[in-house]
Amino acid sequence: MQTKKGQSIEDDSMQMIEDEVGIHGYNEKEWPIVRRIIHSTADFDFADKNKIIFHKDAIQRGMNALKNGCSIVVDVNGVIGGLNKQNLKDFKNKIVCNISNPEIMELAEKEEKTRSQVSMRISKSDIDGGIVAIGNAPTALQEVIQMVKEGIIKPALIIGIPVGFICAAESKEQLSKLEDAPFITNLGRKGGSSSASAIINAIFKLIREELAS
């Protein structure tokens, strides 16, 4: 829960974003998500309509899944740090992050994969029907895409917004062309754990507004 002072600062920040961006091309559900990403990164490049890509079913599927207590699988602990814990408590969502699992390194070496790839593969039961949020590891996103193509998982939503230079832009390009699962992604190298958690927090806020209406 926010203090009154904290909420005041957040409200003022959101208004500054509104004032600086002005007219944009996002719809009424997309914009609160994009605005939250800008708030978490102070990067106004995300306001460009061509930067954030929403699958047509992404937001509604994400809202339905979170509201029903789905698991949230993340690639790194940094995503967890940015999540609003009250939301997780109220909607009973389990957070799964296997990157530090002692078995991961051994399996990764044996299979000649990254730890991020293996951590996604062993989390498949939680990803199936759940939400996977990737903000750091492009190879994790590529593994999730591959599992979808193999028919192993059907996630409610893939949030793929890894930051970086090697395969980051390429992995998001692949996700933007995926037909078998709803996704939210962006073009280019930018992204990060704070952006991934911001998207989830924004979807939770949409849920609360819907329930209050």
Q: What is the pLDDT of residues 182-204, one digit of tens each?
A: 999 999 999 999 999 999 999 99
Which residue range is the domain that position 114 belongs to?
4-212
Q: State how many domains the chain has.
A: 1
Question: What CATH number is associated with residue 69?
Answer: 3.40.50.10230
Sort 131 into a burial class: Cβ within 10 Å, 0-12 / 13-18 / 19+: buried
Asked about 39 being catalytic, the answer comes back as yes
Q: What is the pLDDT of residues 150-169, one digit of tens each?
A: 999 999 999 999 999 999 99
Q: How confident is the model at residue 4 (pLDDT cuts 50, 70, 90)?
A: confident
DSSP string across 52-83: EEE-TTHHHHHHHHHHTT--EEESSHHHHHTS
pTM above 0.85, yes or no: yes
Residue 19: pLDDT over 70: yes
Listed range (4-8, 44-48, 158-162) with the worst mean pLDDT: 4-8
Tell me which residue of 145, 197, 139 sits closest to 164, measured CA to CA: 139
Give the per-residue pLDDT at 1.
Answer: 62
Choosing from 36, 39, 115, 172, the catalytic residue is: 39
